[in-house]
């Protein structure tokens, strides 16, 4: 499994990805149309919420609150994950209810807590909008409909790939100066004592499986996760394993946003029983403490920070200054 993960990482990292900006002066594509739709509140009932309201570009298209607020300030139920690095994913949402980006794209629109917009209403708005009606004709050669709306949003999300982090510079370009010695030690811990590689591997440092890390106890922590979709008891508390790229700027963490910092996350994994004493269905991988030293925790965090794409270097610097 580890060898497969390393191979996938090397293959995935050499792929070239690009981001498109929506400008009147460039050729209109599904991705550029999707970007405009992503940032446009026209797709919400109140015309005040867009996809970008919860997926903030400056925070790697994630949110900064434990749960996001939708229309009429309705409070969400789970933390908003990053919308970046989705091209290689096979399941979407924390519970994996969608299996394609196209399926995923339309669900928040219809969710009454989020954008509260029936698809028929959304399509009607786009068809009655001269600019969008013309754009869909240009890109898809047909009027706006549910299928091509999903295609446009998904096409934009597929451009949000990041492969230019200090870690990539170190491992792929043999630039020893790209990361600190602490980060290098942290990578070794990630692959050994920390046991992180068991769930986080490949080009985006995640897995296609759903795992329970012990954040379900049926009392204070009642989100059943994957079991809500499959209705299987052995899926209680299991959630999608998120990608780790840009993780340093996508706090808070976990499906419920219960941890504000990476150090809190590391402390939890180091000894989960200190945080949640009676979990239900927790993965056996976490049955024994890691017994990390304070230096090892610092090194592991340094490695995770090194996964931040260079485009977010300024944001990372501000966040770390504020935290310190």
Give Cα 132 distance to the centre of its chain: 28
Q: Is 199 annotated as a binding residue?
A: yes
Give ranges for CATH 1.10.760.10 in the chain.
Answer: 18-157, 166-323
Q: What is the pLDDT of residue 317?
A: 84
Angle between helices 146-157 and 30-38 (to 10 degrees): 90
Q: Give the CA diameter of the chain.
A: 61
Mean pLDDT of 283-288: 96
Q: Considering the domain 166-323 in this protein, what is its CATH number?
A: 1.10.760.10
Q: Tell me whether residue 324 is exposed, middle or buried, using C-beta atoms within 10 angstroms of its C-beta: 0 to 12, 13 to 18, 19 or more.
A: exposed
3-state secondary structure at position 255: coil
Mean pLDDT of 189-214: 96
pLDDT tier, 323 (very low <50, low <70, confident <90, very high otherwise): low
First to last CA, the chain: 37
Q: What is the pLDDT of residue 318?
A: 80
Q: Is 196 annotated as a binding residue?
A: yes
pLDDT tier, 75 (very low <50, low <70, confident <90, very high otherwise): very high
Q: What is the pLDDT of residue 319?
A: 74
Q: How many residues does the chain have?
A: 324
Rounded to whole angstroms, how far apart are CA atoms 151 and 133?
15
Run of H or E including 137: helix 130-140
Q: CATH number for the 18-157 domain, one of 1.10.1240.10, 1.10.760.10, 3.30.460.10, 1.20.210.10?
A: 1.10.760.10
pLDDT tens-place string over residues 148-196 = 999 999 999 999 999 999 999 999 999 999 999 999 999 999 999 999 9
Q: With a cut of 70, say whether residue 127 has pLDDT above it.
A: yes
Q: What is the pLDDT of residue 14?
A: 32
Q: With a cut of 70, say whether residue 91 has pLDDT above it.
A: yes
Q: Is 321 annotated as a binding residue?
A: no
DSSP-based helix, strand, coil % in the chain, nearest 5: 45, 5, 50
Q: Is 278 annotated as a binding residue?
A: no
């Amino acid at each position: 499994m580890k060898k497969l993960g390393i191979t996938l990482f090397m293959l995935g990292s050499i792929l070239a990805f690009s981001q498109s900006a929506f400008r009147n002066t460039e050729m209109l594509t599904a991705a550029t149309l999707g970007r405009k739709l992503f940032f446009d509140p026209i797709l919400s009932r109140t015309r005040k919420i867009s996809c970008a309201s919860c997926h903030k570009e400056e925070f790697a298209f994630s949110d900064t609150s434990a749960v996001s607020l939708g229309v009429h300030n309705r409070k969400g139920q789970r933390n908003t994950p990053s919308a970046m690095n989705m091209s290689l994913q096979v399941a979407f949402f924390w519970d994996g209810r969608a299996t394609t980006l196209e399926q995923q794209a339309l669900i928040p629109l219809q969710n009454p807590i989020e954008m509260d917009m029936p698809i028929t209403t959304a399509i009607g708005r786009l068809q009655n909008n001269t600019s969008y009606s013309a754009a869909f004709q240009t890109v898809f050669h047909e009027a706006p409909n549910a299928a091509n709306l999903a295609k446009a949003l998904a096409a934009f999300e597929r451009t949000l790939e990041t492969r230019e982090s200090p870690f990539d510079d170190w491992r792929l370009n043999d630039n020893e100066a790209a990361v600190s010695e602490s980060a290098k030690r942290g990578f070794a811990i990630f692959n050994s004592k920390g046991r992180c590689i068991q769930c986080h591997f490949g080009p985006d440092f995640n897995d296609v499986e759903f795992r329970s890390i012990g954040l379900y106890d049926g009392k204070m922590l009642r989100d059943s996760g994957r079991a809500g979709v499959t209705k299987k008891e052995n899926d209680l508390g299991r959630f999608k394993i998120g990608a780790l790229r840009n993780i340093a700027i996508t706090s808070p963490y976990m499906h419920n946003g219960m941890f504000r910092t990476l150090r809190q996350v590391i402390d939890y994994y180091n000894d989960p029983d200190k945080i949640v004493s009676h979990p239900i269905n927790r993965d056996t991988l976490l049955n024994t403490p890691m017994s990390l030293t304070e230096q090892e925790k610092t090194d592991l965090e340094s490695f995770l920070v090194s996964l931040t794409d260079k485009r977010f270097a300024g944001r990372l610097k501000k966040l770390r200054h504020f935290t310190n």
